[in-house]
Amino acid sequence: MHHGEFKTPGGKLVAVDFDVRNGEFAGVLVHGDFFLYPDDAFEDLAAALEGAPVGEPDDVVAERIRTRLRTGAELLGTSPEGIATAVARALAAGPVNDGGRS
């Protein structure tokens, strides 16, 4: 499993957990102490990354999230760019032992 975090200065923390399978994101979890309205839009965050190719530039990853997030949804305390930074950090850190959960 990969794990990365990013706290927007003056804002909130976002974290991502995922595996890399065949060069794609798998089993993605996006979580943190941010706010998102409406709360149903939460599923869009992980869905934006699931199955996407690993290794795209941060701005492409951010755009994937922005495009997938349903119309009218509002993220508070983090942003598509913040999530992309957490993803980049998770990849840079390499796989971590998750106790066999994945």
Kind and range of the H or E element at 32?
strand 24-32
Q: Which is nearer to another protein, 4 or 61 (CB)?
A: 4
Q: Give the span between the Cα atoms of 7 and 10, in whole angstroms.
A: 8
Q: Which of 7, 25, 80, 84 binds another protein (CB under 8 A)?
A: 7
CB atoms inside a 10 Å sphere around CB 57: 10
Q: Which is nearer to another protein, 6 or 25 (CB)?
A: 6
Positions that interact with another protein (CB under 8 A)? 5-7, 9-13, 15, 17, 29-39, 42, 74, 76-77, 101
